[in-house]
Amino acid sequence: MLGNPALFRQWMLRRSRTASFKRRLDFDAIERPHYGYGVWQAATQARALGVNRISVYEFGVAGGAGLMCLERVAEDVERETGVRIDVYGFDTGKGMPPPTDPRDLPFAWTTGLFRMRPKRLREKLTRAKLILGNVTNTVPKFLYRQYPAPIGFVSIDVDYYTSTVDALRLLDATAEFLLPRVFIYLDDVIGDDLETHCEWVGELAAVREFNDAHAQRKIGRINGLRHKRIIPAPWNDVMYVLHAFDHPRYNAYINTSKWPAPTAASNAAAPTSEGVAGQRSQNGAVEVIVRPIPQGTGAAAG
């Protein structure tokens, strides 16, 4: 570690009481940096779009270690970005349900694993809401019962293919419930040697089906994330993003810290063959509105 300045800095930051959350995140000097990265990216996207409240999710809570970590991350990110963050956790409350499909990998997981003590967990939670029941039943009712702030980050850790299919139904929500790009952590796509994950089983099979079923919404892995990190780590390979091309604000320009926002004049000069139009946003920048990809074209196919 002493020979590697980045690892030494990480070691220092883990012990720091004054370093900012973002600084610690940059060096993976926080617990579950995959949660930190997803929530941070979601909140900064929201702030750039003028959205002041978002919601973040853990599907598969078990004992609650992950959900409590997500609460702490939400608190830190909220403090540094000013974006309010609501936290939700989904679980049966009784451990894994029976597997119902070979793609659930019943040779790797089985009924009743990862039990929760709901009462004890609820007592420890500071801001998260627990939604108990099988996600087959709870997800379809959730939006209209809770009316959550726009969804910004989702952790999927329900292990089974069938459970992931049901969890991903959350991302069928209409645009008012979504940020244009939703950050997603998939917990079960590497696993141990027995798990042998691929696009035909488990969480990856559910993602492939989601993409096949949606022309205007695609979930894709963040390509090359490990090359953007100061200290590359396995979690870099399992971060995904839902691109909601049908979101009315998908094309809103938010890269102003790097390059200035387009002006009305530069938009007027831009190609307009796809119906490009300029529209002033809340923060004064000009948003480029492009029609969604037409259904049934090669570009939209999964």
Nearer to ligand SAM, 55 or 163 (CB): 163
Nearer to ligand SAM, 66 or 180 (CB): 66
Helices 65-81 & 33-49 angle (0-180, nearest 10): 40
Nearer to ligand SAM, 88 or 250 (CB): 88
In the complex, minimum distance from the CB of residue 36 to ligand SAM, in angstroms, rounded to a whole number: 14
Angstrom distance (rounded) from CA 25 to CA 29: 6
CB neighbourhood size of 148 (10 A): 19
User: What does each C-alpha distance from 203 to 35, 59, 161 come to in angstroms?
Assistant: 18, 12, 5
Nearer to ligand SAM, 65 or 301 (CB): 65
Q: Which amino acid is at 253?
A: Y
| Residues 287 and 280: beta-carbon distance below 8 Å | yes
The token pair at 257 is 């810290």
In the complex, minimum distance from the CB of residue 169 to ligand SAM, in angstroms, rounded to a whole number: 11
In the complex, minimum distance from the CB of residue 155 to ligand SAM, in angstroms, rounded to a whole number: 7
Nearer to ligand SAM, 10 or 163 (CB): 163
Q: Which amino acid is at 10?
A: Q
DSSP state letters, 116-171: --HHHHHHH-SSPEEEES-HHHHHHHHHHHH-PSPEEEEEE---SHHHHHHHGGGG
Nearer to ligand SAM, 51 or 139 (CB): 139
Q: Which amino acid is at 120?
A: R
In the complex, minimum distance from the CB of residue 245 to ligand SAM, in angstroms, rounded to a whole number: 28
In the complex, minimum distance from the CB of residue 127 to ligand SAM, in angstroms, rounded to a whole number: 17
In the complex, minimum distance from the CB of residue 221 to ligand SAM, in angstroms, rounded to a whole number: 20
Q: Which residues bind ligand SAM (CB under 6 A)?
A: 58, 60-63, 65-66, 90-92, 95-97, 114, 116, 134-135, 157-160, 163, 166
Burial (CB < 10 A; 0-12, 13-18, 19+), residue 235, is buried
In the complex, minimum distance from the CB of residue 8 to ligand SAM, in angstroms, rounded to a whole number: 29
Q: CA nearest 276: which of 261, 258, 300, 292?
A: 292
Nearer to ligand SAM, 151 or 154 (CB): 154
| Residues 244 and 250: beta-carbon distance below 8 Å | yes
